[in-house]
Amino acid sequence: MTGATWTRWVLALMLAVLGVQAIDLDISSEDSVKDAASTAAYGMMKHYKGNLTGEIPGKIPNTWWEGGAMFMALIQYYHYTGDSTYNSEVITGMQWQSGDCDYMPSNWSSYIGNDDQMFWGLAAMTAAELDFPDSTEGYSWLALAQGVFNTQVARWDNSTCDGGMRWQIWTYESGYTMKNSISNGGLFQLSARLARYTSNATYAEWAERIFDWAVSSPLVSNSTWNVADSTSITNDCTTQGDDQWTYNYGAFLAGAAYMYNYTNGTVSKWYSATHGLLNVTLSEFFPTSHGGEIMSEILCEPLEVCNDNEIIFKGLLSSWLAFTAYLVPSTYSQILPKLQGSAVGAAKTCTGYGNNTCGVRWWNGTWDGWSGLEEQMAVLSLFTANMLPFTSASSGPLTSSTGGNSTSDPSAGTGDSNNDQKTLSKITTGDRAGAGILTVVFSVGWIGMIAWLFMG
Ligand SMILES: *[C@@H]1O[C@H](CO)[C@@H](O)[C@H](O)[C@H]1NC(C)=O
Ligand SMILES: *[C@@H]1O[C@H](CO)[C@@H](O)[C@H](O)[C@H]1NC(C)=O
Ligand SMILES: *[C@@H]1O[C@H](CO)[C@@H](O)[C@H](O)[C@H]1NC(C)=O
Ligand SMILES: *[C@@H]1O[C@H](CO)[C@@H](O)[C@H](O)[C@H]1NC(C)=O
Ligand SMILES: *[C@@H]1O[C@H](CO)[C@@H](O)[C@H](O)[C@H]1NC(C)=O
Ligand SMILES: *[C@@H]1O[C@H](CO)[C@@H](O)[C@H](O)[C@H]1NC(C)=O
Ligand SMILES: *[C@@H]1O[C@H](CO)[C@@H](O)[C@H](O)[C@H]1NC(C)=O
Ligand SMILES: *[C@@H]1O[C@H](CO)[C@@H](O)[C@H](O)[C@H]1NC(C)=O
Ligand SMILES: *[C@@H]1O[C@H](CO)[C@@H](O)[C@H](O)[C@H]1NC(C)=O
Ligand SMILES: *[C@@H]1O[C@H](CO)[C@@H](O)[C@H](O)[C@H]1NC(C)=O
Ligand SMILES: CC(=O)N[C@H]1CO[C@H](CO)[C@@H](O)[C@@H]1O
């Protein structure tokens, strides 16, 4: 061994003993980015028990939607790194929770919101676009995405605020009176992706209808490109809850990018929406106080109050930024440095427990003491998104005319009684008790659920 090799060994040993080795990331090396993603994925799957005997595939304790987000991250991971280690768990979980091809599985469908269902639909859409291996039995990825689309557009609510998706699905959920950005932005994005994948104009008409409604409501401004979190039907959607979250911007941004690409770059509305939303996203969530290139969930990170849902949001934005760069090439040079800066920052935080556990605040320079499946998921998506410079345009989302071959079923999900509001009266005592062990996605939903339990 040379002196230098010795020094490296001793240093590595010291770091291991001290438990401070970070993920060693060289952002300009394809192999290094893949290794970092692999380390993050391994750490994430240490927390996933759904494939163990006696457990429920795809179900993560205390949450249902996170399963969809987790599989989305793993589908992207497989596509960009080629590592198929987790594919069988993805396929098993994605099919297990699929309900009647609509992600309304009867165990959970009484308690979920439109946004919860949407994350599974977007995961299935991602699987179709990234040529994820089909399940030998079960539904095609495209049909699952179409099933979510079909069940959601049937809930488009023209009876209040001249349109829009409500946050929640059922009248007894308190978020039922709200229309929020992630539910509308999620369906906008899914519609745009289905339009581009299938070339079926019906999906594009829906994407346009949802977007036009959103910009006519307080949710999205087509002049400042502010994206608010929610608005309420109780005052006819005249005011907004203006909390700023990365994933709300990401949902509309990527949707606009898909529409831009679907329309072959010929429609200025989608060009302005993409660039307008991108500009605000980059100026708002990459604070100059941390150097301007590291993504931050600005609402919860400063006081360290991010909950599990919120910890995932930056991962979602990371993936959607990368997709935007594939679909709208003029955004590439703006997006790449922000993904790279974030990844370099995040890698430094992966020093927890001496086993590369990552934290929440990617700008902190070292582990901030937080850990969990959600932290790993966000970092996994970020590292995967950093494969962008090592891939060509053809590594972006496919369509049925560029190699995507997932089987279409335009009427998927339309025969399922779990979607039917009339089945509400059939909710049993067992179901109500079940509600008690669930953490509903947002606390307001939780409070509403408790109120309903006591009043009902
Ligand atoms: C790292 O250690 C923590 C705490 O013991 C544990 O929860 C986590 O699963 C470990 N992660 C890995 C990748 O071993
Ligand atoms: C997950 O479960 C499925 C179904 O039991 C099985 O086919 C698959 O091999 C399992 N995967 C892993 C990684 O354990
Ligand atoms: C529904 O709950 C039952 C009983 O716990 C479980 O066996 C089954 O796997 C669950 N299915 C889904 C889709 O979660
Ligand atoms: C919903 O209502 C708006 C305004 O009243 C109308 O323009 C639109 O056509 C309606 N859409 C549907 C799908 O009924
Ligand atoms: C902005 O949205 C409003 C609907 O609220 C619409 O009337 C207007 O044409 C849009 N402006 C542009 C530039 O698209
Ligand atoms: C985009 O261009 C392709 C190939 O020229 C064409 O087939 C397709 O119809 C165009 N799409 C739209 C929405 O105009
Ligand atoms: C976005 O920002 C860039 C420079 O940062 C600017 O050139 C461009 O005009 C902006 N686009 C929009 C739609 O605001
Ligand atoms: C659409 O996306 C593909 C990558 O999937 C890209 O090669 C193409 O240039 C994009 N089209 C336009 C009009 O930007
Ligand atoms: C799609 O193509 C892949 C090979 O790229 C093949 O393995 C798979 O069976 C095809 N799926 C369908 C539904 O034709
Ligand atoms: C296009 O999508 C719509 C909406 O799901 C469906 O009704 C129609 O049959 C589809 N058309 C084709 C040609 O697949
Ligand atoms: C630079 C910085 O803010 N570092 C913080 C990282 O997180 C730990 C734990 O919360 C803090 O003690 C550091 O000050």
pLDDT digits (tens, 9 = 90+) for 424-438: 433 333 333 333 223
pLDDT band at 444 (very low <50, low <70, confident <90, very high): very low
DSSP conformational letter for 178 = E
What value does the mean pLDDT take over residues 47-64?
97
Residue 8 confidence class, pLDDT cut points 50, 70, 90: low
C-alpha of residue 135 to centroid of ligand 2, in Å: 12
Distance (Å, whole) CA 25 – CA 276: 32
CATH code at position 343: 1.50.10.20
With the most atoms of ligand 2 within 8 angstroms of its CB, the residue from 51, 55, 56 to mutate is: 51
Neighbours of 136 (CB within 10 A): 7
Residues 6 or more apart in contact with residue 379 via CB below 8 angstroms:
40, 315, 346, 350, 358, 362
More confident of the two residues 411 and 441: 411
CA distances from 193 to 28, 37, 232, 333 (A): 30, 25, 27, 23
Ligand 9 close to Cβ of residue 405 (< 6 A): yes
pLDDT (0 to 100) of residue 22: 85
Task: Check pocket membership of 56 for ligand 3, CB cut-off 6 A.
Answer: yes
- pLDDT of 236 higher than 50: yes
Nearest-CA residue for atom 6 of ligand 4: 162
Q: What mean pLDDT is predicted for residues 230-250?
A: 96
Task: Tell me the C-alpha distance between 116 and 103, whole Å.
Answer: 9
Q: For position 174, what pLDDT does the model report?
A: 85
* pLDDT class of 5 with cuts at 50, 70, 90: low
Q: What share of the chain is helix, strand, coil (3-state, %, to 5)?
A: 55, 5, 40
Within a 13 Å sphere around the CA of 10, how many CA atoms are in the beta-carbon half? 7
Q: Number of C-alpha atoms within 13 angstroms, CB side, residue 288?
A: 1
pLDDT of residue 434: 31
What percent of the chain is modeled with pLDDT above 90?
84
Q: Which ligand is nearest to the CA of 225?
A: 7
Chain length of the chain: 456
Among the atoms of ligand 11, which is closest to the Cα of residue 366?
6
Ligand closest to Cα of 196 equals 6
Q: What pLDDT shows up at residue 436?
A: 29
Banded pLDDT at 447 (limits 50, 70, 90): very low
pLDDT band at 204 (very low <50, low <70, confident <90, very high): very high
Q: What is the average pLDDT score of the chain?
A: 90
269 lines ligand 5 (CB under 6 A): yes
Q: Is the CB of 452 under 6 A from ligand 3?
A: no
Please tell me the predicted confidence (pLDDT) of residue 456: 29
β-partners of residue 60 are: 63
Residue whose CA lies nearest to ligand 9 atom number 2:
405
- The pLDDT tens digits of the residues spanning 158-172 come to 999 999 999 999 999
Is the pLDDT at 209 greater than 80? The verdict is yes
pTM: 0.91
| 96-142 pLDDT tens trace | 999 999 999 999 999 999 999 999 999 999 999 999 999 989 999 99
Domain containing 185 equals 3-455
User: 435 and 112 in contact (C-beta within 8 Å)?
Assistant: no
Residue 298 confidence (pLDDT): 98
pLDDT at position 453 over 80: no
Please check the confidence at residue 421 and state whether its pLDDT lies above 60.
no
Which residue matches tokens 């990368």?
Answer: 322
Minimum CA distance residue for ligand 11 atom 10 = 368
Q: Which ligand is nearest to the CA of 402?
A: 8
216 lines ligand 3 (CB under 6 A): no
Can you say whether residue 236 is alpha, beta or left, with left for phi > 0 and alpha for psi between -120 and 50 degrees? left
Rounded CA-CA distance 405/398 in Å is: 9
Number of domains in the chain: 1
CA of 357 to the centre of ligand 1 (A): 7
269, two tokens: 């509305």
Residue 3 pLDDT exceeds 90: no
Element (DSSP H or E) covering residue 99? none
Confidence of residue 73 (pLDDT cuts 50, 70, 90): very high
Query: Looking at the predicted structure, is the pLDDT value of residue 333 above 90?
Result: yes
Statement: residue 448 has pLDDT above 50: no
Q: What is the pLDDT of residues 338-377, one digit of tens each?
A: 999 999 999 999 999 999 999 999 999 999 999 999 999 9
Ligand 2 pocket: which of 52, 92, 95, 137 to mutate (most atoms <8 Å of CB)? 92
Average pLDDT of 84-89? 98
Distance from the CA of 216 to the center of ligand 5, in angstroms? 7
Q: Is the pLDDT of residue 380 over 60?
A: yes
Element at 179 (helix H, strand E): strand 178-180
Could you tell me which of 27, 2, 14 has the C-alpha nearest to residue 344? 27
